[in-house]
Amino acid sequence: MARIGVFICHCGENISATVDVVKVAEEIGKLKGVAHSVEYKYMCSDPGQNLVIEAIKEKKLTGVVVAACSPRMHEPTFRKACENAGLNPFLCEMANLREHCSWVHERNDTTTEKAIDIVRTLVAKVQRNAALQPIKVPVTKKALVIGGGVAGIQAALDIANCGHKVILVERSPSIGGHMAQLSETFPTLDCSQCILTPRMVEVAQHPNITLYTYAEVEGLEGFIGNFKVKIRKKSKSLDEKLCTGCGLCTTKCPQKKIPSEFEQGLGLRRAIYVPFPQAVPNKPVIDKENCTYYKTGKCKVCEVVCPTKAIRFDQPDEIIEESIGAIVLATGFEVKRSDFFPEYGHGKYKDVIDGLQFERLASASGPTQGVIRRPSDNEIPKRIAFIACAGSRDPAKGIEYCSRICCMYTAKHAMLYKHKVHEGDAYVYYMDIRAAGKNYEEFVRRAIEEDHVHYVRSRVSTIIERNGKYILKVADTLLGAQPQEVEFDMVVLATAGIASPGAENLAQTLHVSYDQHKFFAEAHPKLRPVETNTAGIFLAGACQTTRDIPDSVSMASGAAVKVAGLFSQTELTRDPLIAQVNRLGPPLYSTCVGCFMCQPVCPYQAIEREEIKSRDGKVIKVLAKINEGLCQGCGTCIALCRSKSIDIHGYTNQQVYSEVVALFNEF
Amino acid sequence: MSEFEPKIVAFVCNWCTYAGADLTGTSRIKYAANVKIIRFPCTGRIDFMLLMKAFQNGADGIIVSGCHPNDCHYSSGNFHAKRRWMAFRELLDYMGVDVERITFSWVSAAEGARWAEIVNTTTEKLRKLGPYTNYQNLVKSGIEEEL
Amino acid sequence: MESIRKRAKELLDSKQVQVIIGYENGTSNKVRASFIKDSAQVDKLIYDERCTQNLALYLVKHEVKHLGKMGIVATIPAMRTINMLISEEQVKPENIVVLGIGEDGKLLDFPDLTVMESFLQKANIELTAKDKEAIEKLKKMTTQEKFDYWSNALETCFKCYACRSACPLCYCTRCAVECNQPQWIPVQASKNGNYEWHMLRAMHLSGRCVSCGDCGRACPLDIPVHLLTMHMAEESKRLFGVDSGLSMKMESVLSNYKLDDKDNFIL
Amino acid sequence: MELERKLIKKASLEKLYQKLQANGNKIFAPIIKDGKTEFHYNPSYAEVTYDHIQTIQSLKNTVFPKIENLVRFTTDRNGTEVTEVDLAKVPSLVLWGAHPCDAAGFKALKSIFMWDYKDEYFNSRMNKMVVIGLSCYKCDDNCFCTSVGLNPGATNGSDILLTKLSTGDYLAEIITEKGKEIVNAAAELFEAAPAEAKEGNLAQVKQQFSHEKVTKNLAGAFEHPFWVENSLRCIGCGACAFVCPACACFDIQDETKGKTGKRLRCWDSCGFGLFTIHTSGHNPREVQSQRWRQRIMHKFSYMPERNESLGCIGCGRCSRACPVDMNILEQLIALEKIQ
């Protein structure tokens, strides 16, 4: 007969104030199979754990139920304690008396009765628990980094420098991300490209890094340590081995008027193009949507001018499959465009631009060579307004959160403007100034005090265009002033940062969870910020929420350490709570009839076929078999199996059935 | 006569509703003590016959709850569960089982208050419906001649 | 009838099949399954309106399967069953030849099973008016009336499992009802045990049942158990848009899902 | 006891029925419900019918119920306590209008349940039951009682056998002491025996085979190809066994709920694939032909040898119930001729 030990925790007074723990211990002690039933002030404390350990040894317990807080909190603690006492950790269950009982009910008999019911259910279950051994799986020591912005670059370099192979996948033709578009960076005002491009080159040259640009992740199978990823390398219409990057084609292409993505639409590019001069790799791609040849079947100018004959119009997309052990997601963010704001002209006012566009105007390599000019008439604006929190912190716009980076880059923009247009007037309309970072507050003060940027606490309600000027309706809320109209030559919106388009799709492909704003969800907001709920997939940078460069880089290094830590082991140990198809002796071999209706149910492709063969090699029967490396233990196949031939450790049919019965019946 | 207190069992998934119910606790939101939770890894794991076992053993009502669509920890368990419940609920209704006694819901780990609300409304509904005597009578009528 | 015999003879003589599963005259003006292994015996084969048994049942029977390749006289429900059995990997298509029987009772020419598939796509697979009416009548009842109807109708069931044995899709070696660890279904043939057993059977056939009606016909006590599985077949059409057994690659209704499956009851 | 003959008028039959009912007996009699004739407990006399050839179900559940609670028990940490059921509570039962074959079926059951081990559950029910038989005046082509040593007016197994006469009144043959007690207690309803012989009022069931010959043939037929050939269409359900008056296979299982439980004896069938399966997975009767052979062998070879009774009373129920026309008569005729 079972010898179950039941340990009821007071949790200080968290449980005992509402539940009569003495009575629970007494009633549970009367159940069949219970050899020991006690209560104690703090079961999770050292003396509490020792109670469990001592009882296991003295009373030769065959199972343990700790009735305390949620198993999501302390199940590992008590399983470890059991293991220390020589009891298989999987013979320990927790009954949730705190979150599910004492904290949600009043002190009365009903609550105590419910507590008894809960504990009894777990006592019934634990009697049917089996001693399980952890599963060991090998680790493929190669990482995949998705996204080649500064976070992806940092993560890839850090992992590669630890001696591991890295595959870096970037969707656009060049790595660099948004940081490559920036002019100067806060709070030091050093040139963004000057600090980034050496890192980009390092990535390209690193012996441990394989770079796939113009590529996307299409599919993912497997599990931590053992992923199989499918990457689509889009056709660049170019033999990259032959191309020398001379750039001749990009100057001869007759399609000249395509808005450049890199210039945020403020500059133009050709149909065959390199996004920007420092691009890595510095080789062109053909934009098939705008290429005359792809549209009409005629042209081929690039092919004609190419000195190395590297153009390949019929080049297909390439599908690359790679085995990897861990993934870092660094897909970054996007910003809302000005067309998102009807009150600010719906994107129709040419001189109402977003922050990223201003970066390009301020950039020495930008469309205006760093001179601030109005897009409408190329005039230098004499009066410029910056509107912070454009969209951010605005529930009405569906973006409740603070985008975190706008206060700082708006101060930077205003300063850059003042440095370039000394006689100009810069106004910043803000709600609050959030400058919480090293040297950040000082930076903002400098803008106000040294560069004389006018900071006005106000929400700009509308912008109206009048005779080439922009009239802002504002009210200085600090002065309590009446709304007034102020005239400007140009307006820069610090638009909200949002999740990268495609983030949702990618999350679904990778089985990673995401929040309501489609930012990837971290496993724990405080303690596991760089992990996802999917083991082996980590987060870096603004794909988790918008963040600035130093934060993105730190997070990337954090994720890299997680990957390196994983790769420091040759084998992973996994919980054995997985499914199993029964096996019997001949002639049945299993009650499984091999209908394989369970196969499409499995999200992890863990259900395989096993052929039972006779001595002469003839296949007698084909049975389902669970790959224990792939199974994650959801149990959907178990509920589906008609002949009840599959079962799952930890939640066996016997266990859950006995729980249901025990909930309503004493034993 | 004191008010009838229904016995309700909740079959919930570990990742969303169980965690959601934990949050109800940490938020100290009070709810009816009629519901007792049984934890499953995923709603996909919940065998339809378990619902009948609950009724057979004396449940007056049942709550089945898991992650919202697209939020399943195992990505698709709740979609499979949903189909299963769609079909099973039709069968139950066709065979005369009172489907009003089964509450199906999606409650995420962040919806502690919603869990309390679901428990309370289900309990209130079952108080009105009364004990599930139909099924209990079915269970009792067994052997023709009890000696 | 003659065309069936002729085709059967061809198949046996050319050794394309080792056995023909068809119908023959039985006792008391009944017809029954016939297993012809010798072409000299083909004259035993008959076909008329009494021939309703779904012979696909025998494709998964151990002793029949081991005779070799099988030719089978198949009515429309039997053809659908064959597709289901192929989809569920219980029958290998290369091991069978189908002698299809159309609605008019005439032999259909199926050079291969894909032709049978396309025939089924267009075939009439509606329930009979009688079954439809019976289901509609039940659906209109109140919950209490439905409960009373089924618990009383099933009370007499003595669990002989003729319904299960007659069903070609109940091919499990060990049925869930025989699983006693845990005992999912009460052993006793009591009201409760019977009610839950038939519920289990209907659920296990939902999305799979081809509405041949053999379970109901097999019941020695005339319990209309086919109205349970047929209802589930109708529901899987209504809820998920799937008619079972129309192709050899059926995606099982309960092991697949669509993101836009519409329920109206989940809170 | 010497057989006694009396007459009971049609009208008196009803009075006898009511008297038996009034005396606290449970009565099990055939009625027509939903178009089917079956035996039911305590119907009103007006409902009772005498016109059927055969009911679908046999009458064996009167003495061998489809579920018999053998013991009750409680089990907790202090151990298990068993409570025997009170067999004294078995009610007195009158089986009204059983055909001679059905009455003979109880003899076959008795030869099993009272063979090496005396089954008290069966015995208590048998002892509390009186069988008032009714000769058959109709039959169908599934009936073969005359081939298994019975006939439509056989008295074997009945306590009183009634035979409808041309006048519409009934000849009552009093066969046992139990029968005599009933007659004595209602002497006013019985009259002197009529002159009319019962033979002219019985159905004509042609003898179609010799069961002795079948039994003899079976002794050497275990490996005969007959079994495989003739059972290919058998689907392995339990319909034949469950409607059979002489099939006695059962399965004992415990049903528990919390601390309490019941040990139940439920009908089982040798036709089921899992009937003989071992824990190891080994199944001595792996295929259906072996199970079909067992069914015939048990009834026509093993039982005559061990139990000195045939396991078949020729009622034809199995043939009527079989969904795939496994007609036992047809097979027995063939078995009489096999080499």
On whether any CB of chain C is under 8 Å from the CB of D140, the answer is yes
Q: Which of D74, D75, D76 is the best mutation test for A, with the most CBs of A within 10 A?
A: D76
B144 contacts D69? CB cut-off 8 A: no
| Number of domains within chain B | 1
Phi-psi map region of C176: left, alpha, beta (phi>0 left; psi -120 to 50 alpha): alpha
D86 contacts B144? CB cut-off 8 A: no
Query: What pairs with residue A150 in β-bridges?
Result: none
pLDDT, averaged in runs of 10, over chain A (667 residues): 94 94 96 95 94 95 96 93 95 96 95 96 96 91 97 98 97 96 94 94 96 96 90 95 93 94 94 94 94 94 94 96 96 95 93 96 93 95 96 93 96 96 96 95 96 95 94 91 93 96 90 86 81 89 96 97 95 90 89 94 88 92 89 93 95 96 94
How many Å separate Cα A488 from the centre of its chain?
A: 40
**In terms of residue numbers, what domain contains B61?**
8-138
User: What one-character-per-residue DSSP string does A469-532 give?
Assistant: EEEEEE--TTTTPPPEEEEESEEEEEEPEEEPTTHHHHHHHHT--B-TTSPBPPSBTTTBTTB-
List chain A domain ranges. 4-134, 142-234+317-332+512-567, 248-305, 334-498, 579-648
Within 10 Å of residue A509's Cβ, how many Cβ atoms? 16
B141 contacts C231? CB cut-off 8 A: no
> Looking at the domain A334-498, which fold is it?
FAD/NAD(P)-binding domain (3.50.50)
pLDDT value of position D195: 86
- Please state the φ and ψ torsions of residue A650, each to the nearest 5 degrees: 95, -30
> Looking at the domain A142-234+317-332+512-567, which fold is it?
FAD/NAD(P)-binding domain (3.50.50)
User: What one-character-per-residue DSSP string does A205-239 give?
Assistant: H-TTEEEE-SEEEEEEEEETTEEEEEEEE---SB-
Cβ under 8 Å to B: A residues 567-596: 577
D142 contacts C28? CB cut-off 8 A: yes
- The 8-class DSSP code of residue A394 comes to B
Cβ under 8 Å to B: D residues 78-97: 85-87, 89-91
Cβ under 8 Å to D: C residues 150-169: 158-162, 164-166
C259 contacts B95? CB cut-off 8 A: no
B114 located within any domain: yes
In what helix (H) or strand (E) does residue A123 lie, and over which residues does it extend?
helix A109-126
Average pLDDT over residues D4-8: 92
Interface A–B counts its CB contacts (< 8 A) at 134
B124 located within any domain: yes
CATH of A579-648, one of 3.30.70.3270, 3.40.50.360, 2.40.420.20, 3.40.1260.10: 3.30.70.3270
B27 located within any domain: yes
B2 located within any domain: no
Q: Which chains touch D (3 or more CB pairs under 8 A)?
A: A, B, C
Nearest CB partner across the interface for B138, out of C192, C263, C267: C192
Nearest CB partner across the interface for B138, out of C145, C151, C267: C151
Report the candidate in A570, A429, A542 with the shortest Cα–Cα distance to residue A138.
Answer: A570
CATH of A4-134, one of 3.30.1370, 2.60.40, 3.40.30, 3.40.50: 3.40.50
C235 contacts B95? CB cut-off 8 A: no
* AA identity, residue A642: R
B143 located within any domain: no
Residue B1 has pLDDT above 80, yes or no: no
B147 located within any domain: no
Contact between D165 and D196 under an 8 Å Cβ cutoff? The reply is yes
B96 located within any domain: yes
Q: How far apart are CA D273 and CA D237, in angstroms?
A: 9
Q: How far apart are CA A368 and CA A359, in angstroms?
A: 11
CA angle C36, C39, C44 (to 5 degrees): 55
On whether any CB of chain C is under 8 Å from the CB of D142, the answer is yes
B42 located within any domain: yes
Mapped onto helix, strand or coil, the DSSP state of residue A455 is: strand
Kindly report, residue by residue over D77-123, the tens digit of the pLDDT: 999 999 999 999 999 999 999 999 999 999 999 999 999 899 999 99
Nearest CB partner across the interface for A104, out of B9, B31, B76: B31
Chain B residues closer than 8 Å to C261 by CB: 79, 82-83, 86
C263 contacts B95? CB cut-off 8 A: no
Q: Which chains touch A (3 or more CB pairs under 8 A)?
A: B, C, D
Q: Residues in chain D, how many?
A: 339
C184 contacts A657? CB cut-off 8 A: yes
A587 contacts D77? CB cut-off 8 A: no
| Nearest chain B Cα distance for residue C7, angstroms | 42
B38 contacts A601? CB cut-off 8 A: no
Share the mean pLDDT of chain B.
92
Chain D residues closer than 8 Å to B146 by CB: 69
- List Cβ neighbours of A597 (8 Å cut-off, separation of 6 or more): A640, A642, C88, C252, C254, C255
Cβ under 8 Å to B: C residues 78-117: none
Chain C residues closer than 8 Å to A600 by CB: 251-252, 255-256
Q: Which residue of D has its CA nearest to A4?
A: D77
Average pLDDT over residues B114-137: 95
Say what the ipTM of the complex is.
Answer: 0.92
Chain B residues closer than 8 Å to C229 by CB: none
B30 contacts A118? CB cut-off 8 A: no
| Nearest chain A Cα distance for residue B147, angstroms | 24
Q: How far apart are CA D21 and CA D29, in angstroms?
A: 12
| Nearest chain B Cα distance for residue A659, angstroms | 7
In what helix (H) or strand (E) does residue D82 lie, and over which residues does it extend?
strand D79-84
pLDDT value of position B2: 61
- Please state the φ and ψ torsions of residue A86, each to the nearest 5 degrees: 90, 10
Kindly report, residue by residue over C243-267, the tens digit of the pLDDT: 999 999 999 899 999 888 888 888 8
Q: Which chains touch B (3 or more CB pairs under 8 A)?
A: A, C, D
Contact between C168 and C56 under an 8 Å Cβ cutoff? The reply is yes
Q: How far apart are CA A68 and CA A21, in angstroms?
A: 10
CA Rg, chain C, in Å?
A: 19
What band does B144 get if pLDDT is binned at 50, 70 and 90?
low
How many Å separate Cα C247 from the centre of its chain?
A: 15
Which pTM was predicted?
A: 0.80
Q: How far apart are CA A322 and CA A168, in angstroms?
A: 12
Q: How far apart are CA A194 and CA A184, in angstroms?
A: 9
Domains A4-134 and A334-498 share a fold: no
Q: How far apart are CA C94 and CA C82, in angstroms?
A: 12
| Nearest chain C Cα distance for residue A562, angstroms | 34
What band does B146 get if pLDDT is binned at 50, 70 and 90?
low
Residue C242 has pLDDT above 70, yes or no: yes
Nearest CB partner across the interface for D281, out of A32, A584, A662: A584
CATH classification at residue B36: 3.40.50
Chain B residues closer than 8 Å to A121 by CB: 36, 38
